[in-house]
A and B are shown apart, each in its own frame.
Chain A
């Protein structure tokens, strides 16, 4: 398998330790097997599939509006971006023009969600580091974002913001909401930066995270890592640069060079101000106008594909439309392509650091368990 040096295959590995699907350091059910030699991890295997529920199977044959709202149930952390991408697929296939105001609101929600996801990552990372205080403080900062999300979307986790052609009316931003979002963002930015100062200046934490779970640039590209995990190794690849929704806004793509836990943590810290910058620009130029475009007709399409940049990386949704129903839905989540990176990062770490090396890639295995592939054959070809 993926060994850092070729000799390690020939080494005698004495012990195998496994944990999961229920474990204190893992937020989600997955199995980790560590092959250990005197507490040093020589090889690791992450087994996903524990979570497999098969949302695609339910989506098959459902009306597209109904199926879209199911995609939210794929992930509880980045539910909005799943819905957004699924809606974008339909809009791409049916060639629907989305009102500008709706585009901006969707984008604001996506960026708020990115902030909440990154804060969750940082807090969970600190929990795995064994630093309960920082983790608690980050969760406290996160509650501010959760408040904003539930104010705009009406729920703390699944907001159901986008619909085909626009956004739901309840997610409209009025003066009061805008005021609260701006206030909340200011306080988040201030507190996150204060935290980052404390975090970086702590020598013990730095010695815990520097040089642990290193992923080189070549390995990251070879293992098809995506998102912040890839950017932490020095590759400047952010799908937001290529998405037309992000065209009007100015933001930097953050990269770090080392690919270790420190780079991974820092990149998420530094991406929060960038997201805040995007939201502030979007709120400043928030166009007036309708929220939804109802002027569209359902047509049959071939398989439509779309990528967006989720908080964890590249998210892919695709399906075909037939009689207004979904066929052959395929979803690939960013953590799927990061699993290789996680296994690779584990190798060579101490057992205590192995969980940290997994968590540094920001796993979301509940999204990842999409092993289903529904073969799509158009009805016209299938019928004789």
Chain B
């Protein structure tokens, strides 16, 4: 009996993880094909291409040494990011609630912070050919010269911006995480879920609705999707911290972004609907629905908006943060 229970939970954990990884590969394709391409009146790529086939292709490419002061570290960073996201996902599963205080909101916040700090490392370690390294006669006679100016790579700006993302950009999502905490007066995920099983999902309350909106905007900011793409935009600083990734590392970059999409949406369904991911439960279908709904909404928003500069980004984040504070205050009542 004991043995079957343990086996069951192992199967549940690994099954959920593998099914989730498989589903998350299709999220970029769904966003690209069904939302962006439809809105832009074209056919668009097959659903499997951007998320599933592209990483597989990158695995089969030749590994190169990136242009970086620490190529080994730089190449490992996406893998670390993927592990961090996987840890967040594992904590969300009921089988890990025995960890007690480790299966709490604080752990999730800490892990998300690690994910953001990885962007800073990526940005400062990447030295791409596309800006300073381009062989071009810059310092010629007659060119503008500023003696004090240090020549910097465009990824350095990305690193700066990643820091700004930590400093204020990701505040909305953290505020939204505290709405369920205040509602259930506990930091533990298990308590939050039990509270929702008794009182109904938090989403269907005043604070829950506002919290959900704030969470969604935080989700877009954390994923760097247009219009909140301050880390990487096609129009400005290309690709930002990911510039130098090729082959395996790039595959991990693609996968970890897709899996972050999945994990954050699952986090939403745990915190606001009280449905932890588990393939042996019918509620997993609701999880998948939320997981697909979020990129779809995100695609609609990003298709109809230009990329934000700080002039739009600061007021938007401040406004959303105020909403988040309102949601937390609302959660007390």
Contacts and interface: CB of A to CB of B under 8 A. Distances in A.
Interface of B: 36, 39-42, 130-132, 134, 136, 138, 143-144, 146, 148-154, 156-157, 160, 226-227, 229, 233-238, 303-312
A355 B144 contact: no
Most buried by A among B132, B149, B157: B149
Given A45-B143, A136-B42, A130 B312 contact: no
A28 to B, nearest CB: 14
A152 B286 CA distance: 57
B235 A127 contact: yes
A25 interface: yes
A195 to B, nearest CB: 13
Contacts of A355: 235-236
B229 A18 contact: no
Given A204-B312, A351-B157, A13 B40 contact: no
B152 A15 contact: yes
A33 interface: yes
B21 to A, nearest CB: 28
Given A18-B131, A208-B309, A352-B236, A132 B36 contact: yes
Given A33-B138, A45-B144, A130-B229, A19 B310 contact: no
16 contacts: A15-B149, A16-B149, A16-B150, A16-B151, A17-B154, A17-B157, A18-B134, A18-B138, A20-B134, A22-B130, A133-B36, A136-B40, A204-B312, A208-B309, A352-B233, A352-B307
A204 B313 CA distance: 11
Interface of A: 1, 12-25, 31, 33, 35, 39, 43, 45, 47, 126-133, 136-137, 140, 204-205, 207-208, 350-353, 355-356
A130 B117 CA distance: 26
Contacts of B226: 130, 132
Contact of A16 (B146, B306, B310): B146
B227 to A, nearest CB: 7
B39 A133 contact: yes
Nearest to B236: A352
Given A19-B154, A33-B138, A355-B235, 16 more contacts: A1-B144, A13-B146, A14-B149, A14-B150, A15-B152, A17-B153, A20-B136, A22-B134, A33-B143, A35-B144, A126-B306, A137-B40, A137-B41, A208-B312, A351-B237, A352-B307
A14 B147 CA distance: 9
A24 B150 contact: no
Contacts of B303: 132-133
A16 B146 CA distance: 8
B305 A204 contact: yes
A25 B236 contact: yes
A13 B307 CA distance: 27
A21 B176 CA distance: 44
Contacts of A20: 134, 136
B238 to A, nearest CB: 5
A356 B311 CA distance: 15
A73 B311 CA distance: 42
A21 B134 contact: yes
Contact of B41 (A43, A136, A352): A136
Contacts of A356: 235
B235 A23 contact: no
A131 B305 contact: yes
A31 B156 CA distance: 19
A35 B151 CA distance: 9
Contacts of B229: 130
Contact of B132 (A18, A128, A130): A18
A130 B138 contact: no
B307 A43 contact: no
A349 to B, nearest CB: 9
A47 B310 contact: no
B162 to A, nearest CB: 13
Contacts of A208: 306, 308-309, 311-312
Nearest to A19: B131
Nearest to B146: A13
Contacts of A43: 144, 146
B312 A207 contact: yes
A21 B177 CA distance: 45
Contacts of B134: 18, 20-22
A207 B311 CA distance: 8
A140 B149 CA distance: 43
A68 to B, nearest CB: 34
A208 B138 CA distance: 31
Q: Which 7 A-B pairs have the closest CB atoms?
A: A130-B307, A136-B40, A129-B306, A131-B306, A16-B149, A352-B236, A45-B144
A352 B238 CA distance: 11
A144 to B, nearest CB: 13
